[in-house]
Amino acid sequence: MASASIPSGALVLLQELDSSSSHFKQGASIRVTGKLQEYSVETAIAIVADGGATLAVDTQHLRLNLRVGSLYQFIGELSIQPNNEGILKARVGRNVDGMDLNLYQQSLKLLRQFQSDQISHLENLQ
């Protein structure tokens, strides 16, 4: 089944995405959320920001009406440039205006806790 080969975009906060992050590697599939700070129609490069951190997103494959100041979520693969900066090659994007980013961070923390608890529970069963 072709769709089964599509990797899941790991939930990452922009603040966590520095060069020391385990997600900061060539081809890593991630999902990021942030406010659109800049957008160039010529290059289709968008800059999203959250909590003081920013990330460049290549939106050339998306059919999305991007507005500066709105919140967006992108899923795609990270490409590390020669200057060690990451750019997300987005394959999915959506507007998430109205989303409470603080609540999102809290729920992400709970989700990670749940997932690690479940995985350790599973290991104990084996």
Partner 1 sequence: METLQNTHVKLLAFDFTSLTPSSSQPKSAVYRRGTLLVSRVETLGIVTSRDHKPDRFLQFTIDDGTGCIPCVLWLNQLTSPYHSRRSPPDVRLIAESAINFATLIQIGVSARVRGKVTVYRGIATML
The site for partner 1 (CB under 8 A) is made up of 1-4, 6-11, 31, 62, 64, 73, 75, 91-94, 111, 114-115, 118, 122, 125
Q: How far is the CB of 10 from partner 1 (least distance, A)?
A: 6
Using the minimum distance from each CB to partner 1, give the nearer residue, 63 or 84: 63
CB 88 within 8 A of CB 56: yes
Q: What share of the chain is helix, strand, coil (3-state, %, to 5)?
A: 25, 35, 40
Using the minimum distance from each CB to partner 1, give the nearer residue, 20 or 124: 124
Query: What letter does residue 14 receive in the DSSP assignment?
Result: G
Q: How far is the CB of 83 from partner 1 (least distance, A)?
A: 28
Identify the helix (H) or strand (E) that includes residue 57.
strand 53-58
